[in-house]
Structure 1
């Protein structure tokens, strides 16, 4: 693993994080909701994750595992404190209400109606805490005929047309490997929460904010969505080629493949003149403009790949970087984490874990100069901070013991 602090500069101990003093009651699970609260936690919010005392977040059972811990859970839940409650019990729900009363933000992504059944819906909680920002993440929105539908990342990729844009023209549409819709929805929820937090600083009152997988999935179609609405033409799959520029795509080299993007004539000129030493191709009438190159892409690809076959991918990538031609070697995940770029950015590190010893971690992509991201802390074990949180809420030791004996924190407690 790599040393993030040495790569990016040590964090000033006197620099407060951006969301210092903000408390988040995190009722979310799986990926979309926890991604939102992970970003809030990275920026210094005190995120308290409330889990089902019997089994915890279902993501805890996802593979792979490291020293008994779910790696997906570790990924989605760092920098949070964890409390386990049996919300089917009145006394446990009262603890949740006490936590919400002292919180600035609540994030939930249960099926529609679940929070209301627990007495934790927005209408009830805004009376309890008028300053509360209540973030609801759903599959298809909380209102209307789709509100009761369950949804998952890959289903939304299929339904929004996103899958139809991925893959090669002669094959079926493909979903992405990573859960891009969940991640993007978590990011969208974070933006909504921060907007509501800024508004509260002016108005003094909170509000309900929402985002849904389906709406974000439509956003993730990119400008192809608006292109369809503007022209009526259904966008097609093009594989790894560019949809509107050439040369853009995957090109074979002597030892592998390289992804190259020439988004304009100037970049194309630098590629053929400075990198490939083929100045004759700049003014070749077949390739003079992007339209010309798109019409003659087969001929141009053959010429470029003959030139690229004389050296390896890494050598060409360095040459293109020197001449400001955007390009990158196509790597496996293992190769990416061993690359000079990954090391230079200090992305991977290890952090302490209460039962596993140490676990790997990936740096937050946000960089705030004056209010830096907090030092990473591993995701909590189930109920790890229950006593700590109850102490914070002012519960006396005898009351905590009474609640524990009654089963408010689950049978395991």
Structure 2
């Protein structure tokens, strides 16, 4: 990672960003980090809804939610409800390679900015639409992360039998959908560069969630069995869960027989690896309760940090439960530079979370902080 102003991998790509809230703005920020020029279109006087989503607020009174997904962008106030605003938006599109929106399906069509209209005028354009439930039978449904976590099955496998259905602690479906949008946009740009032909890219929250639930969705598709919430246990691996130590839980991911053998030796119970109840992973899953009791009996002799150092040194994947401050401190200690400050003249530096991709020749850059509300 570097803060030097070097041409990014997407230098020369211009993006018209009609996105709001999280999924589309996250996608366009990642594109901007990699060198694309992103122009964010906002409602005059109001801007993106997340500008008002707080607390928490920065020292300058800005929403930390908005700050999280809008760096490296220029902002323009455009009234899409007026003929003049739509004309301005169309002029912006004419100068761009990519258009991104996450309005409810059909909204851009009603504004005269729909994919068919834009592609008819600009055949080389990549037009990416992010919706909640697709552009077909689900077009009328609004897409909010909480609702999709509920109807998409994620809440049903999150939490425990005691807690009941539980949402993930961040709008993860929006983030995953944003990542899928970036993948589709980059693939479409590759095709455009090869053939000159643009295209429409569609992603939706529900499909993105079902894909991201990978083994759980596959288990249902293959067997018809509906997975259930198992707390911190894994349906197919043991031990792959939280185990209690003398002071706090330790996450242990002994995902194969070799790792289990190392774990057993590390906690001073090497005989467990030779016990027929625990010899193979399927045996350990079947006898999970007994296995956990045996392991926790040994682990309760020392605190979690002791076991983290000892077992990690042996190659056993494990770690204590960190709060976010401890997680950032760990990333910093590992040399991952998790937070960068971005500044511009006349404005206090804005801390921003690092772009997650490292590239040796065209690294992500942090050129400008999230834009102030245009006047």
TM range (shorter): over 0.9
Give the alignment partner of residue 347 of structure 1, picking from 326, 338, 353. 338
Change (3 A) 1:372 1:302: same
Which of the numbers 145, 148, 157 marks the counterpart of 1:156? 148
Count of matched residue pairs: 373
1:59-94 CA distance string (max 9 Å, x none): 111012112111100101111111111222322322
* 1:110 maps onto 2:89 in alignment: no
Higher RCO (CA 8 Å, separation ≥ 6 residues): 1
261 and 181 in structure 1: CA distance in 2 versus 1, 3 angstrom threshold: same
In the TM superposition, what are the counterparts of 1:4-403 in structure 2 within 5 Å?
8=1, 10=2, 15-63=6-54, 64-66=56-58, 67-142=60-135, 144-273=136-265, 275-339=266-330, 344-352=335-343, 357-383=348-374
Point out the structure with max Rg over C-alpha: 1
Conserved in 1, the CA contact under 8 Å of 2:25 and 2:70?
Answer: yes
Counterpart Cα distance in 1 of 2:218 and 2:346: 50
Query: Paired residue for 1:404?
Result: none
SS in 2 for 1:171: coil
What secondary structure, in the 3-state scheme, does the structure 1 residue paired with 2:162 have?
coil
Moved over 4 A (4+): 10-13, 340-343, 353-356
Q: TM-score, normalised by structure 2?
A: 0.95
Q: How far off is 1:137 after superposition?
A: 0.5
Residue by residue, what CA displacement relative to the aligned partner does 1:89-125 show, whole Å, maximum 9, x if unpaired? Answer: 3223222111111100000011222212222111221
Shift of 1:287: 1.7
Which position in structure 2 is the counterpart of 1:396? none
CA shift, 1:185, in A, is 0.5
The answer to whether the 8 Å contact 1:162/1:220 transfers is: no
Contact 1:54 1:86 in 2 (8 A): no
- Tell me whether 357-366 or 309-318 shows the greater mean CA deviation: 309-318
CA contact (8 A) 1:353 1:359 kept: no
**Unpaired runs of at least 5, structure 1:** 1-7, 384-412
Q: 1:82 to 1:342 in 2, by over 3 A?
A: farther
CA RMSD in angstroms comes to 1.7
